[in-house]
Structure 1
Amino acid sequence: MSLTDRLIMSALVDPMKSDLHLSDSAIGVLQGIVFAVVYACAGLVLGRAADRQRRLTILLVGATTWCLATIACGLATSYWQLVLARALVGIGEAALAPAAVSIVADSFPPARRGTATSVFFVGSYIGAPVSIAVGGVMLGLAQGGSFSGVPMIGDISPWRMVLVIVGVAGMVVPVLLLSLREPNRQDRPRAETLGVMIRHFVTDWRMLAPLYLAIGLMNIGDYGMFAWFPTVLSRQFAIPPKEIGQWFGILTAATGILGCLVAGPASDLIARAVGVRGRLFLPLAAALIASAGALLIAKGDAGAVFSGLALWVFFSAISNIAGIAALQAVIPSRYNGVGIALLAFCNVMLGLGLGPVLVPLVTEHVYCDPLLVGWAVATVAASAAILAALLFLVSSLGLSRRRLGPD
């Protein structure tokens, strides 16, 4: 639900542009930088809280906030009201990753955390394509008048109806959270100052900095792809929104889930065989293959474009999950909340902050043709993946200095 609320706007780009008289770049800023800055900054604070406070309470408040803010996005009457509501979505969703991953880490032994993490992140690979599928299908229904009789929203624009309905439906998440139990912490929080925690991360900067940046770069491709691939299909192939939602959702959900489920067990297996450093070779190889898939999106036929999307999503999922598994292996569990918050900071500042923005910038200023948005998606994603592969290699070299053995 978190990813659905976050990314559903990508299925609503053209009607939002028409209604509010916005440019592609303005939509990119709304989807990217506005959300990214707030999410990243709030995440650092909430990550520290997740290492020291009751994590289920943090999740409950965050989920309620992002659902109400999504409803507010649908009711906004101006661009700046939409910006404010979008920022509130970012604050609410910033609570999820640090608290949830910390709970997962405390629920499984280190040797199985790669598998457990991959199962958890299956939700993100369902939520991202579902946001496009649900958005496209619901937009088509709303444009056809299917929701015209719904009280309070029957007279508003179709794209607004979609956001309000999704926000209301998301309120099931905080209700379900009330049924969960807080696990015991494997590494109980110590009475450490903020400076002690910071020094721990600074000491390992040669390994951690390139690892964080590599995962962030893969997210540039991910967010650029999810934000603009539906537009590629509508502009290049004149596919209607309902069909875009269906095909995009099915393909990305299937390949993303498969990649996610492969990544965790494979990472655990490699770690048992050759040690923690081996966890970084998997995301490196996957990033290189993903870059090849991205280049297919620049081709002019639909078959190649969909094949490129499938390859990208599958191998990007492997790269991201294996990278996170490596991160969990080298950070003490008492710092899991902050460690994942730092990762979320890099992901949104690089991925969500730049991915949706770079694609229209390349479209408008490099290729100078809105019909070449597919070339722009391919350029941004492939370049980011190649740089990520190089940084995974640099991180593995830094990790080798620590002389880590098998998990």
Structure 2
Amino acid sequence: MARVRAALYLDFDNVFSGLIKQDPDVAIQFAKEPAAWLSRLTTTLTVDGARRWLIVRCYMNPGGWVPHPDPAAGVARLYYSQFRPFFVNAGFEVIDCPRLTHTKNAADIRMVVDAVDALADPVVYEEFVIASGDSDMTPLLVRLRRADRRTTIVSPSDAAEAFIAVADRLITSQELLELVQGEPVDSDEDAPVADESDGPVSYEQFRDLVRWRYDAAPGPLNLASLAHDLRRQLGPSVDQTNWFGFGGFVRALESLGLAHAKFSNHFVWDAGRHDPPESSGAAGPAPEPVSRLSALLSLPRLPQEMWPLVYQALADYASSHHFNLTEATRWARDRLAAQGVDVSRAAIAFVTRGTAFGGAPLYRQPPPAADEIASAFADNVLNRAEAASIPLTDDESAQVRAWLGATL
């Protein structure tokens, strides 16, 4: 099958500065190992099929820098220019974009001009991958759509809804960080990692393992976590047989006839032994300002009482682990699931990003406490609302803070 002819335009300053606020270690890995993640991006998170890179460009301010994330490094600034050779060696065409004003370089304009020029090339570029969270790129995506080209956004932060809406695919910062680390890219259910040294596993092995987990469970089982564990333990046969011929994980579970089994979107539980999990849509209606932000900023629709539980889970992770964003979201999801609380990994990632951009990144030393995480997240939500020109009165802002469990 022919590969999709693709062009990649990377605004390094925008992407790197966004990633390093969320996970410094992996952000630096992104900058030092571009060949590795570019190779993975060839066949991962695609739109119409595997990509063949015809244009690969990195737009970089040679004098750009961010504060060094490691105080022990002995230097205050981490300059972008030190990463230039890694991109050159990976086959990128590096375009120097020095700062034209105190706050702005010309990367976005250069990217737009180059992408529009590419539309006039004799070669038809079928997919344009724009690595930038800058919503100023929205008119470019509209132009590419009008030319019937596929578009993918790689955003290091929570991009504007109008920007996302125009693209065919959004690659989030969490997906990008997973890609950089070589992890299976998925939000709530990971790919298999086990080998089958003793031959393919059987449906009976699947049945026995599930029943043992189900009977031993002290509370509702999170479906994503259970599927992840089973894939790791049972190996590739799970996917090769599409869950033993049932076409899906939940249908395979239902075939087992588990006693008193009840299912929700994210959990399975024994109605005779377990209390039903809290549902992320089960609470009373949110105040109108919160509903407005959910619609316009994709704020997760969690009930009021769940927000403090998310903050506490993230605080517990930060205080007991060396920070890694993809691990943090998975760990917090599973910690909440063990408490019978149904929160998706995507919602936890949204909070983690907001906390970082709000000034309390989880990798900070000392790690932020739950109340600091709550305050930083609420600050970020309200700052994003202001940036998106979403009007909120002082009373409405107070309602949002109260709903999110943040106190002034």
TM-score by length of 2: 0.27
TM-score by length of 1: 0.27
- Taking CA–CA contacts closer than 8 Å with sequence separation of 6 or more, which of the two structures ends up with the larger relative contact order? 1
